[in-house]
Amino acid sequence: MKNTNATAALHNSSHPHFERPSEPVIGLFVPAIASNDSVKVADLDFSGPEAQNKAARGSQWLSGQFSHPTGVHDFKVYVPASYRGAPTSLIVMLHGASQDADDFARGTGMNQAAETGGYIVVYPEQGASANMFRCWNWFRPEDQVRDSGETSIIAGITHEVMASYEIDPSRVFIAGMSAGAAMAVNLAVTHPDLYAAAGIHSGLAFGVADEAFSAMAAMKMGTYAAQLSAAREALGVGRSVPLIVFHGDQDTTVHPQNAEVLMQMHRNLMLGTDDSSALVTTEFGQVEQGYPYTRNTFRRSDGEVFGEQWLIHGLGHAWSGGDPNATHTDARGPQAAREMMRFFEAIANAR
């Protein structure tokens, strides 16, 4: 989320009514849900040299739309060149304020990371009609429950992509930046049966706000407590989702204390109020010609990893290790995309 006009961004949060697209988009068919209408996914977006080079290598950058009672929602999908129809993994990536799928994919480098692992990546896009600065409305009560609002939209897009490709249902992950990270927390809490792990970059804990002003206060101060009772109720009988969390200690948009609140919430959900059984390993590192960092790894008493927390010293409100040609990135930090992929793979293999 940007500092400028953030309050206005939080206030502007209504979804459009459904309208049938005036012309069908030709390509891979994706059926709509909760409606008799249907939409299609464009075959391949040849909008620039980068897309053409990817196509030549056999990878694809697809544009799609998803029909939902709240309207038609855009998304993009990256299909790696190595995909041949065998079951593979899926990552759902949620952008921050003022970003779109192209900018977020370029900035995070997640497509390149996914190519090496053979992952498919989907990027839901927030429309300006839902929020004037394209923020996910993570703070609204209707977006903090399973079957309404933006949580149901994103989960619906996830299911659509799973239905269109051979996706291993035990290897579906979600990640986000800023407002997208806060929304990824909402999805991890409300859909533990869908997502196996989550990557949270510069985000906030579940339920720290319920309207625009409390959201701004939580972002700025980082002292608001997570709503554990609401999180436990949302989880139901589901198991809490392992988290890998990144935050810069110089972030003036989302206070780094929010990462501490998030990890305390996570420990409580994983282990209960008595979290003394958690084993914490601390590592100090330094990116060559870049930032130092502190990495905490959280394990159960049996050695099972259930969380990582990265504090990057000197990093502001930016994706760590990102491409400087995109917004909200800083190349001097450890590569968050690569570390998230490693964490996701380890969690899936451990299961």
The amino acid sitting at 27 is G
Specify if 186 maps to a domain.
Answer: yes
Cα–Cα distance, 78 to 121 (Å, whole number): 5
Q: Residues of the chain whose pLDDT is less than 70?
A: 1-57, 130, 237-238, 273-276
The structure tokens listed for 92 are: 């759902």
pLDDT at 140: 94
The helix (H) or strand (E) run that includes residue 76 is strand 71-79
Q: How many domains would you assign to the chain?
A: 1
pLDDT at 34: 28
pTM of the complete model:
0.84
Comparing CA positions, the residue from 340, 327, 299, 337 lying closest to residue 111 is 337
Specify if 320 maps to a domain.
Answer: yes
Cα–Cα distance, 48 to 320 (Å, whole number): 26
Long-range contacts of 141-146 (CB under 8 A, 24+ apart): 141/210, 143/183, 143/186, 144/186, 144/189, 144/190, 144/206, 144/207, 144/230, 144/234, 145/190, 145/234, 146/190, 146/191, 146/234
Question: Would you say 167 and 85 are in contact if contact means Cβ atoms under 8 Å apart?
Answer: no
Specify if 340 maps to a domain.
Answer: yes
Specify if 339 maps to a domain.
Answer: yes
Cα–Cα distance, 243 to 281 (Å, whole number): 15
Domain that holds residue 206: 6-350
CATH number at residue 121: 3.40.50.1820
The helix (H) or strand (E) run that includes residue 286 is strand 279-286
pLDDT at 235: 80
Specify if 1 maps to a domain.
Answer: no
Specify if 181 maps to a domain.
Answer: yes
Q: Rg for the chain (alpha carbons), in Å? A: 19
pLDDT at 57: 57
Specify if 82 maps to a domain.
Answer: yes
pLDDT at 35: 29
Any idea which residue has 């990640």 for tokens? 175
Number of helical (H) and strand (E) elements in the chain, helices listed first: 10, 14
